Amino acid sequence: MHPTNTRLCLIRHGETDWNAERRVQGQMDIPLNPAGLLQARAAAHGIAGHEFSALYSSDLLRAHQTAEQLAQHHGLPLCIDIALRERHYGILQALTAEEARIRHPQASLRHAERDPEYAYDGGESLVDFARRVLDGFEALARRHIGETILVVTHGGVLDILYRHATGRRLQAKRDFVVPNAALNWLERHADGWRVLLWADRRHLEATLDEL
């Protein structure tokens, strides 16, 4: 790795019951389920042999519980960063897609269309969310130039980073996966971001995509 670059291993939190139910979590604080705890431990073993300068996590419980497994296995202090939080989905939080279509049909439609300006009646627009995520990761990259860091975050955050690194539009339909507890390697270099390896699940037996 070039001495002016920053390398990041990004891990989506382990599975929750709401993931299994396909229920929108957003910034609701839902714990890992037993499968998610096993995935978190598997991820800790999956990064064995790699050295990291720091470990960061979202403050939401499902990410924090995942990060605790990594911290224990690798002897890293855990730093909490609220910029790593999932997007706030406002009135759609706690609903399945079917419940959202029935209770909030217009919000459900604008969500499906990835309307970049829609903020879910009290939530966070896609544009604002992307700005928060990218500003947060630029700050992390500057703080750890020449180092490799470990980050535990959420599916929506990883979606933004992948699109940014590969030049995909925010509004475009997703054509990539974001599984629970997979390993995603990115690098910040002088000209921007690049994906080194995405959705590595060799350490996992079963995992759910973010959608």
Express each pLDDT in 172-181 by its tens digit.
999 999 999 9
Residue of 15, 64, 86, 210 with catalytic role: 86
pTM: 0.94
Give the dihedral sign, CA 186/201/19/57: negative
For 92, which DSSP code? G
The pLDDT of 17-27, averaged and rounded, is: 96
Active site residue 86: yes
H helix and E strand count, the chain: 7, 6
Banded pLDDT at 209 (limits 50, 70, 90): low
The pLDDT of 29-44, averaged and rounded, is: 96
Residue of 13, 104, 144, 154 with catalytic role: 13
Active site residue 13: yes
pLDDT in tens, 93-128: 999 999 999 999 999 999 999 999 999 999 999 999
For 54, which DSSP code? E
- The reported pLDDT for the residue numbered 170 is 95
The pLDDT of 183-200, averaged and rounded, is: 96
Quick check: 13 and 152 in contact, CB under 8 A?
A: yes
